[in-house]
Structure formats: C-alpha cells, structure tokens
Structure 1
Amino acid sequence: HEVLLGKESKEDLTDKIDSYLTHPIFGILFFFLIMALVFMLTFTIGDYISGYLETLIEMFNDAIHNFLLQIHVSDWLISLVCDGIISGVGGIITFLPNITILFIALAFLEDSGYMARVAYVMNGIMGKLGLSGRAFIPMVLGFGCTVPAIMASRTLESMKDRRRVMLITPFMSCSAKLPTYILLSGMFFQEHAMWVAYSMYLIGILVALAVAFISSKIEKAKEYKPLLIELPIYKMPSLHTVYVYVWEKVKDFLQKAGTTIFIASIVLWVLLNFGIHGYSSDISSSFAAMIGKTITPVLVPVGLGFWQIAVALLAGISAKEVVVSSLGVLFGISDLNSVSAEGGMQQALLMIGFNSLNAYCMMLFVLLYIPCFASLATIKKESGSSLYMWKAAAFQLAIAWLITFIFYQIARIFWV
C-alpha cells in the first residue's frame, strides 16, 4: 500500500501561493511576469547553446561544399545542396535550443498545476468576452503549437464557442514564429531584442481578446457563468512527464525540418535559380522574383514592399519556420543564428532599404497572418467545414494587414 504523507501542509502552501497567483489583479500580473521570465530563459540560455550548433552546421556546410567541389559536381547542384537545402534546413535547426527551452518551460508550468490557475484567473476577462475561462487554455497552448491548441477547443460546450476559439487561437505566438522574432529582433534591436520579441506575445494575446470581444458583440454572446474548475495542489513537475512532452515537440520540429522545410527549401531554390530563360544566377529575373513582385504592391502600405519579403511570407504559409529558412535561401546564408551570418543578412536587408521599422512590421505580420497548413487542416477537421477554414484564413490575413497597416502608418511619423 502507498501512503500519502504531508498532504495538509502541501494544501496549506498551495492556499498561500494561490492567494497571490489567483488574485484577480496580481494573478494576471504574475502570468505576464512568468511569461517574461520564460522568454528571458529562451533567449539567454537558448542563444548560448545555439552558438555551438551554428559552428557545427557551418563546418558541415563547408565540408559538403569542399567535397562536392573535389568530385567536380556541377555548380547548380552545389548551389542546390549548400545554398538551398543546408541553408534552409540548417538555418532553422540553429533555433532548436531556443524552441526546446520554451517547451521545457511550458511543460513545467503545465505539470506544476499552474496552467489551471491561468484559466481560473482569466475567467473574469473571458466571461466579459462571452467565453468561458476554459477558452484561455487553448490560447495558452497556442504558445507551443496551434494544432493541439485548436484541438483543445473540444472542451467547450457549443460549436459556436469552439469556432470562436479556433478563430482567435492562431493569433497566439506559436513556437514556429519564434525564429522570425529571434532573427529580426537580434539584427535590428540588439540589446532590446528580448523585449521586442516579448511584445509579440503580448500583442498576440491582446488581438485575440479584442477579436473575441468584437465577435461577442456582433453575435450578441451572453456573458458566461462562473467557471467550475479543480485547482490541483502545486507539485514538483515530474521529470519523466516533462521529458515526454518536450521530446514529442522536438521530434515534431525535427520531422518538420526533415520534410516541410526541406521540400520548401528545394522549391524556393528552384524558383530563385530558374526563370523564363532557364537556369540563371541572376535572382531578380527568377520565377520567385516575378511572384514576389506581383504580391509586393499589396505589402507596400504595411511596410513590407520588398519582393524578397513577399516570397518569404508566401513560403511561410507552409510552416511558419519557413519564413526564416526562406530568408536564408534568398540571401544565401546558412547558419542564420550566428553573429557573422546575422551581420551579412542585416547588410543584405539594409541594402534593399529594409530597416528596424520594417523588421517590426514583419514580425507583427508573421504573428497575425494565415496559420500554417497543419493548423488550417486542423481548423477544417475540428469545425467540420472547409468553408469555415477558408473564412478563418481570409479573416486572419485581413486582420494582419489591417493592424500592420495602422502600426506602420503611425510609426513612420515617430520612428528614428
């Protein structure tokens, strides 16, 4: 027989902690502070480990390049392997430490019993938006990945509520958007990089809540009754549970790097190196440039009027990590997370007239625009409607354009 000892003292401690963490005002402040701490760890420790990973990828790329030269492989094939595949996949792999730390932190918060408190604390705010506090759980899960977050909307009673949660969950910053924030904030905002990236998480939450509020007014959703939720006793997270959770997420990320990002990198390389007249080293006459230049006019009012950025954003619909790997392929830079590569990328971007304001607008647009293919497929499955999926995608694209447009037009006046 197993005997549970010290339960009363644990319950007393839980009650003491909860007097702060479930407080209507302090509880929300603590939530944002905890997320800021998670961010700081993601940036500081993640960047430190990434440094070693970058060196390995750089050495690997050089070794492959030299080997292909020695066996006299044609230039286009060397370019495909080194500038296309290794730049695309390798560029995104360098962000693996940052993403792993984010998942470890989320697993700790989940298993310690804190996430249930977040739903409880947010119940008052969510109730005024015509949603249950339970609806905040999918939103918090959205920090990890939008797919399981959308699936978590099943806990809501009516399909109407579930659809509203499906509509707002993709506005949360999933881990796939993190590489874009790390890259652009690191290049253009140096010592303020962490806070710039953190602002994306806050903006995502605010936009999601604002959309929920407006839709509740349009649909005349009734205010919700108090939430009944069991708050478990705080406990030290199980290392095995954390390991399983993190390994599943890292495995998904590596599978994505090996499939979606791999294929996207090859497709993008082909579009960049082939034009109407066949293979060409002049990117400006490539198919990618033609596609990018067609979309560019729509992106000019939001501060993203560069065909290279248009191509990266378009490629990012397959998976959000592809935005960064596309930039690597577009500018021929493999280990995007290293200081030298960031310098090279920054110079390349500055040369096309892309500055810190454009960088912030791009982060904002990536935060809010169409979710990835996997998320769209999940929205279709969970809502039981292809039409709803297309409506949700169009709505998110419109919101991204509108908010980035307003920000860019106002910020232009003050931006130094």
Structure 2
Amino acid sequence: MAIKLALAGNPNCGKTTMFNDLTGANQYVGNWPGVTVEKKEGKLRGHKDVVVTDLPGIYSLSPYTLEEVVTRDYIMNEHPSVIMNLVDGSNIERNLYLTTQLTEMGIPVVIALNMMDVVRKNGDRIDTQKLAAALGCEVVETSAVKGEGSKQAADRAVQIAQEGRRTLPKHTFAPVVEEALERIQNLTAELVPAEKARWYAVKLFERDGRVLDQLKLSAETAGKIEEAIAACEKAMDDDSESIITNERYQYVARVVRNCVHKNRTGMTSSDKIDRIVTNRILALPIFAVVMFAIYGIAMGGYSFSIGTMGTDWANDVLFGELVPGAVDAFLGTLGVSGWLYGLIQDGIVAGVGAVLGFVPQMLVLFLLLAILEDVGYMARVAFIMDRIFRKFGLSGKSFIPMLVATGCGVPGIMASRTIEQDRDRKITIMTTGFIPCGAKMPIIGLFAGAVFGNSPWVATSAFFIGIAAVIISGVMLKKFRVFAGEPAPFVMELPAYHAPSPGNVLRATWERGWSFIKRAGTIILLSSIILWFLQGYGVAEGVFQAVEDNNDSLLAVIGNGIAWIFAPLGWVGDMAWKAAVATITGLIAKEEVVNTFGVLYQYAGGADLLEDSHDIWAAIGADFGVMSAYSFMVFNLLCAPCFAAMGAIRREMNNARWTMGAIGYMCLFAYVTSMIVFQLGGLITGEASFGPGTAVAAVLLAGIFYLLFRRGYQGEDIIRMSAVETAEVKA
C-alpha cells in the first residue's frame, strides 16, 4: 500500500522548494476534487511507493479560506500516512500555531525545521530535542534552499508511517480548558475515532458548525457539551473560540521561550535591507527602478539588454534565415510549390516564427522574475503595495494574484480565492487581467521594437499602466453598493532574504517558458494555417481565388466589418482591419496578436523572411503612429483576456452574469482608456485633430475623475441598507 506524505506549512516557509527537492521531475499537477485549487503531487525520490502531496500554504486549520478548507478536508478525509510540517525556524513562533493544530489530528507528524541556515547566520540557537519533547513529535533540521536535511526528514517521516506510530497531542491549554475538553471527549467517545478525539473535542469547544452538523449530537449530549463550554467561558471571561486561540499562542510562547535562544546583538541582515527596501518613502521608487531594470535587461535597447539581443538573433537569423532557408531547401527537394509552399512558408513559418522570435525575451524576463521571487523580494512588493492599495480601499491580498499573473493570468485569477471577502475577491478577479502576463509580452516587444526603438520605458509603462488600471478600477468600483465596505486585513510573512536556488529559478523559468512555447506549437500553429487561408484568398473579379493584395481577402472583409468600432482609438487606414483582426484573434491566446501581424505583414508588405524579417517591423512602424501604436497596445493589455483566462473567471465567479459583467467591464475600461490615450495624446503628437472624438474622450476622462472622487457608500449607509433589505424580506 502506497504511503501518502503530506507537506503542510505556512506560506513562504519553503514548502515548494522542499517539494521540488523531494520529488524532482516526478511531479504532476491537477485540481482538488470538486474545487479548482491546484494540487501538486509527486513520487518521493528513491521511494516508488511514497506519494508526496504539497498542501496549500495556510496559517491555520480554521476554515476561513478555500485553501484552509482544502487542507483540513484532505487531512480529515484522505487520511495521509504522515504529515511533514515545515516550520520556518527564523520565524518559529508564528509557524508553531499551525503545528499545535496538526498534532491534534491523530496523524503522525514530523517537523522539518526549515531555514536553519538563516537561523545560524542570525546567531540564534534552537534546541531541537527540547522542541520535540514539548510538541510531542520528531524535529529534523533542514535548509530546503540548500538541499540540506530534506531527504533525512522525508526518510524519517516514511519510517514513522511504516511503523504505524501516531503523534500524541500535548496538554496545550490551561487546566480549566483541558477539563472541559476531557469532558467533551468522554461525551463523544462513541461518536468519533479514538485517534481524532482531541481534534473533535477542540472543534466542538469552538462551536464549529461543520463538526456539529457532522456528528448529529443528541439534544442531551449537545446540552451537556454546551454546559461545559459555558462554564469554561465564565471562568476564563471570554468566548470559546478566543479562548482556544489565546491559549495556543500562550503555549507556543512558552515553548519558544524554553527552546529558542535569540541573538539580541542587533538587527538581522534582512531587517537592515528592509529598512531601505520597504521604507515608506523609498519603497515605491526602488520597486520602479527594479522593474525598469528587469524590463531593460529583457526587452530594452541597451548594450546589456540580453533578451533583445536574443530576440534580434531569433528574428533575423533563426527565423529570418536558418529556419526559412532549411524549410525552403527541404520543400525544394520534395518539389513542393504553389499554395502548399505558401502555406508552409508564409503561413506556418511566418506566423509561428513571429511568436517564437520573442522566446528569448520571455525567458530572460521569467528568469529575472523567478530570481526576485526566490530571493524574497516579491513578498516585500506585496507588503509595499498593500500600503498603497489600502489607501484606495482595496485589499492588500489583491496584489498576490497580480504577482502570479505576471506569468499567466489563469493561475493569477485562481489565486484570488485566498481573499475571504466576496466583494474584494470579485474586484480582484475583474482586475487581475490588467497586469501584463507572459503572453502579452510579445505585443509589447513587437511595438517597442517596431515603433519605439526598443525603449524599456514602453514595457515598464505597460506594467505600471496595469497597476494603475487596478487601482483606478478598485476605487471606482468601491463606490458602488455591491462592492462597498472595508477591505479585509492583510497579514503575511516576510521570508528572510537568501541566495536564489538555481534549481527553483530554472524550474520556474522553464515551466513558464515551456507553456509559452507549447501554445506556439499547438493553437498558434493551427490559427496560422487558418489566417494564411483567410488572408490569401478572397473574391476578385467575381471569382473566389487567391488574391495578390490581402486587402481583397476574406480576412479583410471580416476585419473591415468590425474596424469601424476601433476608429476612435486611432486604428485607421489600411492597418485598421489588420489591427481589428489581430485583437479578435488575441482572444484565443494573446500571443495570437503577434502571430496575426506576422502572417499579415509578411504577406502584405512583400517582405521575404529569407532576406530580412525587419521588413515586417518596418511595415508595422509605417502603419502605426506613436499614439495609435500605444493605443493599440493599451487596449490589448487591458481588454478581455484569452479564452483560458475567461474560463478561470467563470470558475471563480461561479455565476454567468458576474462572468459577463467582469469581461464586459474589462473591455469597456480598455476601450475608454485607449480612446483617451489616442484622442488626447494625439493632440500633442499631431496624430489626432480636435473633433467629436476628442470631445467624447475629454468627457470620458471627466467621468472617470467623477467616479474616482464622488462619495461612495459609507459604513453607515451599508448598515442602513441591510436593515431596509431585512425589513423588506420580513414584509
């Protein structure tokens, strides 16, 4: 029978690093049954019969968030053989709260005391023998980021599971509470498994509704339990749930006092860095500089812009000479010509090559973001943005999904489930798609190269436009009744800074990059074929045939049918229908925007990829002005996301009307923003002249300012409305 080893711990305790170290490439990802929370499982290295499950990072087993519910239900219903509880040794007091709950579950627990390298560096000492005795379970020192102790901890957990040992809970609470819990255990002895008696007693003491419903207690038993709880509450002068929480913290404090010896000679290195990095005045400028440097290295036009160098080589040499040349020679040996030759070279090679040419920039960007995440800086960014978000009435937790969305919008949207309040969660789902994900980076890279001279300011501005769109939307939406209310408090651990793990960084980079490449080989390949046909054939002289000018093609007919919608955004002339079609195909996958331009401009511009792919960039640059290009870029960054992300919105909203409302809001906000950018910005560059469009843009801008500064629903208004609604329901 396979041994199930569950990894449990607080967020940022090193659990993912430990999981990767224990399982290597033997991982598979799925969803928990009945919910869309991602789960990771893998085979333990050297143990074919041991399955390691990476449980969601949580602070406690109290079922307030979906992650906490998933973890608790997994431990209760899936019956893991052993739990390996990762505890951050550098922040041990906060982490042990969860430990006290896990040891009550009736399942063997082994503590992996992680980040011991940081503990030793700080000059602190932890007596693991005393700690093990106090908690009633074995403790193994580890440093997951350095690969130290992970295997020993896992092997010890497997051995304990094989021996069938279970962790016996310690007497954690005050005598009067322990007396009440013992009475509850005696009253429910025949209703619950013996090994879980302690856990059920604590949950009943807390008046956990789910447990009460599950046990179906008789009225007599329920009355006696309530008497025991009431007597304890009277003695402790507090409610039952607060009593348990306070007692746990007091117990943890006693354990830490006896087992941990802090070096109080001064601040840690992380504290010293944070005095600058998280400074109220310097934090945001430092963040802006860091993001500018990242985009400068990945997508800039400087001597150190290695991402751009790679993309230039990929466009000019790999997909400009080598691949088309090799394909041309191969097709020549087979005698392929005519429409099939055009399909392969002008459709597949031009379309897929236009997207894959940006892979070097994507990989460099993903690599740098993975380094920042592994070092611990991204946790600080969430802390920095929390202060800003809360000033505008938004939840600081909203920024975590947005950080995730820099890789892909789908997991970013799914990460919104960590937000307890439904209104804040809905706002987060509606706005997370504004953050430029990896699939949108080729759009930025294309226009940065074709129109803006590879300026890193373009990519940097795109990131901060996304953040600004989130803040503006949040402020406006919070003024409406359905979203009104104070944001939920945001509490998170700031992990100690440490050197990035090459394995973690490379794995994260490869996972994001491979996802990008896979789409180029599947959905983008298929759409390139369809686009090639639609732009290469049409009705000419009353006959359906191949056309020399793709302005006469089927695709041009479709594009011209919808291009008028985007005219106020500056999409005019011959490029109007191309821009419209590229935007629509971008709903399939955002990489499709570049793929579409690659097919259309390679054909329309008469460019030969065998000579110089920059001819396509030159054709795009000739069609788009500065503001029309920026307007196009802004619209495609802010409008409805790809179909996969829309599916994620549908799953998270769990309501068709809210889903359509979210997608509709994103499209409307993108349209209004892009119109303001072109109509008002165009007056400065000379691309737009004053007219009805400018007047409408000015009115829309005034409307945004009105929504930003108007008085919204206040706390007393919400209470009053709730009272009215209750009265109406009773009537």
TM-score calculated relative to the size of structure 1: 0.93
Q: Which residue of the partner structure matches residue 558 of structure 2?
A: 291
CA distance in 2, matches of 1:337, 1:194: 26
1:33-56 residue CA offsets vs partner (Å, 9 max, x unmatched)? 111111111121111122333312
Q: Which residue of the partner structure matches residue 346 of structure 1?
A: 618
Residue 212 (str. 1) matches residue 469 (str. 2): no
Residue 105 (str. 1) matches residue 368 (str. 2): yes
Contact 2:394 2:475 in 1 (8 A): no
Q: Which residue of the partner structure matches residue 544 of structure 2?
A: 278
Residue 238 (str. 1) matches residue 516 (str. 2): no
Equivalences for 1:4-403 in 2 at 5 Å?
4=117, 5-8=120-123, 12-43=268-299, 44-54=305-315, 55-57=317-319, 58-190=321-453, 193-219=455-481, 221-224=484-487, 226-276=489-539, 277-282=543-548, 283-305=550-572, 306-332=576-602, 340-347=612-619, 350=622, 353-403=623-673
Q: Could you tell me the percent identity over the aligned residues? A: 35
Contact 1:147 1:374 in 2 (8 A): yes
* Residue type at the aligned position of 2:269: L
Residue 413 (str. 1) matches residue 648 (str. 2): no
Q: Indicate the structure (1 or 2) with the bigger Cα radius of gyration.
A: 2
Q: Structure 1 182/414 Cα, relative in aligned 2: closer, same or farther at 3 Å?
A: same
Contact 2:436 2:463 in 1 (8 A): yes
* Residue type at the aligned position of 1:47: T
Q: Structure 1 170/337 Cα, relative in aligned 2: closer, same or farther at 3 Å?
A: farther
CA distance in 1, matches of 2:288, 2:274: 16
Q: Which structure shows the bigger proportion of residues in helix conformation?
A: 1
Contact 1:128 1:224 in 2 (8 A): no
Contact 2:324 2:610 in 1 (8 A): no
CA distance in 2, matches of 1:158, 1:359: 39
For structure 1, the residue ranges without an aligned partner over 5 or more in a row are: none
How much has 1:338 moved relative to structure 2?
11
Q: Structure 1 348/141 Cα, relative in aligned 2: closer, same or farther at 3 Å?
A: closer
CA distance in 1, matches of 2:641, 2:530: 20
How much has 1:195 moved relative to structure 2?
1.0
CA distance in 2, matches of 1:37, 1:94: 22
Question: What number of residue pairs does the alignment pair up?
Answer: 413
Q: Structure 1 314/293 Cα, relative in aligned 2: closer, same or farther at 3 Å?
A: same
Contact 1:171 1:207 in 2 (8 A): yes
CA distance in 1, matches of 2:372, 2:352: 30
Query: Runs in 1 of length 4+ with deviation above 6 angstroms?
Result: 333-339
CA distance in 2, matches of 1:339, 1:7: 59
Q: Structure 1 339/68 Cα, relative in aligned 2: closer, same or farther at 3 Å?
A: closer
How much has 1:263 moved relative to structure 2?
1.3
TM-score calculated relative to the size of structure 2: 0.54
For structure 2, the residue ranges without an aligned partner over 5 or more in a row are: 1-111, 124-262, 300-304, 687-731
Q: Which structure shows the bigger proportion of residues in strand conformation?
A: 2
How much has 1:125 moved relative to structure 2?
2.0
Contact 2:350 2:609 in 1 (8 A): no
SS across alignment from 1:275: strand
CA distance in 2, matches of 1:348, 1:117: 39
Contact 1:61 1:86 in 2 (8 A): yes
Q: Structure 1 148/348 Cα, relative in aligned 2: closer, same or farther at 3 Å?
A: closer
CA distance in 2, matches of 1:330, 1:233: 50
